[in-house]
Each structure stands twice: as C-alpha cells, then as structure tokens.
Amino acid sequence: MTPLTPYHSQPPFSAKQRNQKVSPMKSSNPTQCARSAAIIAAFLATSATAFASGNHAGGHDESPIGKPGISSKVKRTITVEMADNMRYSPSDIQVKKGETVRFIVKNVGKVRHELSLGTPDELAEHLEQMKKFPGMEHDEPSKITLDPGKHGEILWQFTEPGAVHFACLMPGHYEAGMKGQVTVVKK
C-alpha cells in the first residue's frame, strides 16, 4: 500500500485525469481517494463543530438568565451606577418575563468596575477566573467592564421568571458587597 503524503506534495490530478476530466473520487488511485475522503471528513467535522458551538457562555445564545436583547425590542431603559463604595444604584431591579431592557451602566467611581449578569454559579466561576486574570477583558453580551468616568450598555432579554444576579467581579469588589439582583416576574 502506498503511504499517504501531504496534499501539496502531489498534484491533485494525474495528467490522465486532467485530460479525461475524471473526478478524483472516481479515480482508481487509492491514495487520491483516501486524500479526498479525508478532506471531506475534515470539512464536515469542522462544520458540525461550528454550528454546535454557539457563544462563549456555554454553547448557545440563551442561558438560564435570558439572552442578548435586540435594540428594536427594548421596552425600558434602566441606568445603573457603579461606585467606589462597592455598591450599585439601584441594586434591586424588577422586570417582566420576556422583557428586553437596555441597561445604561455608569462607572461614577475612580477605580475600574464591571457589571456581570449571571446565576450564582456562573458568577462564582467567573469570580475565580478574575482572581487568576484580573485584567481580563470581556466580550460577552451579559458583561461590561468600565474605566472610571465611563459608561456603556447591556441589552438583555429576561426569558424566565426568577432571580438574575449581577456583580462586580473585579478582585475584592464582590467580597465587599458589590452585587445586586434582577427579579423577573411572570407577565
């Protein structure tokens, strides 16, 4: 049996195949058939992975706390201030199931703060990551980190009734009490 060689080391078709316009899969050359099958299998495997992977937060856009909101569906805007006394204002918020909210998040302090939405388990896990990597940058729709004096927004749709927690997971901030809760009530 002829060993497989890297694809680029041999022309993809023999001169006979080029002249006869024979498909490599119909080739009597076992090496060429195996190479073509391997390429197709690799493509299908990476395509399936890409479709199943979703976002960073666990594979798909929706989580137990909801999903990223769509700007045109915003029903209400809520301003949340983050301060150096390690508190949010407001820290208790109520929304309706299905409601899409625009959070305008303002850092009114002199140190960096963040607002991360999540379940208690998600926040605890992320807190441990922030302890290991305190300069971590976020590119997730449920999180925002702001330098002093800056503001930004989170668009979020709350899809399930219950409690959605939020916290600042900068080292020491959560432990100092910088946390809050969104209560999602049935319509």
Give the integer Cα–Cα distance in Å for 34 and 42: 12
Cα dihedral 3, 4, 8, 10, rounded to 10, equals: 50
C-alpha 63/C-alpha 163 separation (Å) is 13
* Residue 186: DSSP 8-state: P
Say how far apart CA 86 and CA 168 lie, in whole Å: 8
Give the type of residue at 170. Answer: M
Single out the residue of 82, 98, 81, 79 nearest to residue 159, CA to CA: 98
Q: Which homologous superfamily is 67-185 in? A: Cupredoxins -  blue copper proteins (2.60.40.420)
Parse the chain into domains and list their residue ranges: 7-53, 67-185
Residue ranges in the chain modelled with pLDDT below 70: 1-62
What is this structure's pTM?
0.67
SS3 115: strand
